[in-house]
Structure 1
Amino acid sequence: MSSTLILSRADEADIDSLLDCLYPAFRGNDLGTVFFGYDTPASRASAKERIAASMKKGGQNVWLKVIEQETGKMISGSWWIIYPNWVPSDDFTANAAAKVTIDYLEGEDKIRAEALLRDWMTRRTRYMYSHPHVLLAFLFTHPTYQKFGAGSLQVEWGVTLANDLFLPWYVEGTPAGHHLYAKYGAKDLERVRLEASDPNGRAWISEYTMMRREPLKTAISTKARS
């Protein structure tokens, strides 16, 4: 059975539905826990507050949603950060990355998550900061609706935007999403696998590939002569 998917911009009224997709999409993925905590009321409240803040912060933050037309259900979402011009800031330095803390985990979970998050942010500093670019920060689809085309719909939007702005496009591709991003021209820059063990010996794993799609250099128009 085919579905009609509708892509549009998400706003604060959509955050609960975004989280209803996000948490199941990242279940069993330690990266999801690092950024959003466990699927608990406290973690959801923190995630909701931070997403709302990003929506209000400025025009560079764009959250998208995908609705299945037949049911009206949100099935997927993504967070894009757009830097059409690069302005140096203390927020985008290796020192800033080193100071990153989180408030949605406690104890050993907090220590491990902060260590993985700081490494993640340090790599962003190395590859992305200092020049204009488009970043796909997160893409998530509810497991029930994966392989329906929601991810491709959002990536196509981002690629078109990057082309229109003549900017490179970056993404930290998880193993599950790597094929999709490669399909749209993103090339591997670095494969990353980090582990942080808990007291019970279970390893928290941060595994992704830093990827970049080269910018479109020029636009060409051809007109037939009469």
Structure 2
Amino acid sequence: MNNRYLVREVQTKQELDEVLDVIWAANHTPYEPFIQLFFPVLGFTPAHRKAALIESKERVWKQHTSDPASHWLYAFDTVTDQAVGCVQWVISTTNPFAKGVPKLEAPWWPEGECRKFCESILNQVYKPRANWMTRPHCALNWMAVHPAHRLCGIGSLLMKAGIKKTDNLNLECWLEGSSMGKPLYEKFGFQSLLKVAFDTEVPCASDEWRKCAHEMTPAAVFAMWRPKRGLWRLENGQEVGLPWTLGAQPVLNGTSHSL
């Protein structure tokens, strides 16, 4: 079945635009509040949605081309000539948090309570990663499969391609996954370390904040980790140390991070 699909790495904006089409379709069927946090539709008409899609494509392409650690892979359907699944790996060959836990901002939202709400959620998601992964590692940031192509092995195909490269680099892997994605990630050696349930309570919350909390609070996510090469036991039989016990570690000179 998988002979129908090929895995490629994004090289052009047109390819990444098609990847964003997959992400939008996948996160609206069923609806996932995270999509509104990252790619808000600021209105109720088809024109508003079109504008949001265009903005998201421009923003993600700019982010991707400005960050050499960003690698997008996508599954390509040889029958329909379309992208049908995607994954983004961020490959850090040095400690990406050498300056401490970053404060994430969401400038794609207009100033106001909605932006503050979005930033609150994003920083809660990111905190375990930034505290525990203070050494070279690979992070999975996005995974999506088009609704019309689910249950065709595309997620596994994308994971195999990414994991093969991360193992060649001898790096740990990290992700924040949904309950729907968790079984797939476990299949490839990830284990859940923490379940992140979002705290949306603030003193004297405004009506706008409460509306955001009602409409955009995501379901809890799982902070998941995979040790180097997926080996949870060392050669001597001892269990591998967990992320918070490993500390900052240098990377070997000459390590490549090309996918």
- How far apart are 1:46 and its partner, in Å? 2.8
User: Which residue does the alignment assign to 1:126?
Assistant: 131
Q: Is residue 204 of structure 2 the alignment partner of residue 180 of structure 1?
A: no
User: Which residue does the alignment assign to 2:164?
Assistant: 160
Kindly report which structure 2 residues correspond to 1:30-69, keeping only aligned pairs within 5 A, or say none: 30-38=33-41, 40-69=49-78
The one-letter code sitting in structure 2 at the alignment partner of 1:212 is: W
Q: Distance in 1 between matches of 2:22 and 2:199?
A: 26
Q: Distance in 2 between matches of 1:89 and 1:53?
A: 24
Kindly report which structure 2 residues correspond to 1:99-110, keeping only aligned pairs within 5 A, or say none: 100-104=105-109, 107-110=112-115
Change (3 A) 1:42 1:122: farther
The one-letter code sitting in structure 2 at the alignment partner of 1:15 is: L
Q: Distance in 2 between matches of 1:127 and 1:156?
A: 25
* Cα offsets for 1:29-67 (capped at 9, x unmatched): 111221222382332233212211233124311011111
- How far apart are 1:8 and its partner, in Å? 0.3
User: Residue 169 of structure 1 aligns to a residue in which SS?
Assistant: strand
Q: Is the 8 A contact 1:116 1:194 kept in 2?
A: yes
Q: Is residue 36 of structure 2 the alignment partner of residue 24 of structure 1?
A: no
User: Residue 162 of structure 2 aligns to a residue in which SS?
Assistant: helix
Q: Distance in 2 between matches of 1:33 and 1:48?
A: 14
Structure 1 residues not aligned, in runs of 5+: 219-226
Q: Distance in 1 between matches of 2:156 and 2:113?
A: 37
Q: Under a length normalisation based on structure 1, what TM-score does the superposition of the two structures give?
A: 0.84
- How far apart are 1:88 and its partner, in Å? 5.5
Change (3 A) 1:62 1:30: same
User: Residue 197 of structure 2 aligns to a residue in which SS?
Assistant: strand
Which of 186, 205, 214 in structure 1 is aligned with 2:217? 205
- How far apart are 1:71 and its partner, in Å? 1.3
Change (3 A) 1:89 1:40: farther
Q: Is the 8 A contact 2:86 2:145 kept in 1?
A: yes
Change (3 A) 1:18 1:200: closer
User: Which residue does the alignment assign to 1:221?
Assistant: none
Give the length in aligned residue pairs: 214
Q: Is the 8 A contact 1:34 1:113 kept in 2?
A: yes
* Cα offsets for 1:5-46 (capped at 9, x unmatched): 010011312132112111121121111221222382332233
The one-letter code sitting in structure 1 at the alignment partner of 2:121 is: L
Q: Under a length normalisation based on structure 2, what TM-score does the superposition of the two structures give?
A: 0.74
Q: Distance in 2 between matches of 1:63 and 1:163?
A: 17
- How far apart are 1:127 and its partner, in Å? 2.5
Which of 102, 116, 119 in structure 2 is aligned with 1:114? 119
Change (3 A) 1:171 1:201: closer
User: Which residue does the alignment assign to 2:242?
Assistant: none
Aligned identity (percent) is 22
Q: Distance in 1 between matches of 2:35 and 2:3?
A: 27
In angstroms, what is the RMSD of aligned CA positions? 2.6
User: Which residue does the alignment assign to 1:9?
Assistant: 9
Q: Is residue 197 of structure 2 the alignment partner of residue 193 of structure 1?
A: yes
Bigger relative CO (Cα 8 Å, ≥ 6 apart): 2
- How far apart are 1:143 and its partner, in Å? 0.8
Structure 2 residues not aligned, in runs of 5+: 42-47, 201-208, 235-259
Q: Distance in 1 between matches of 2:96 and 2:141?
A: 19
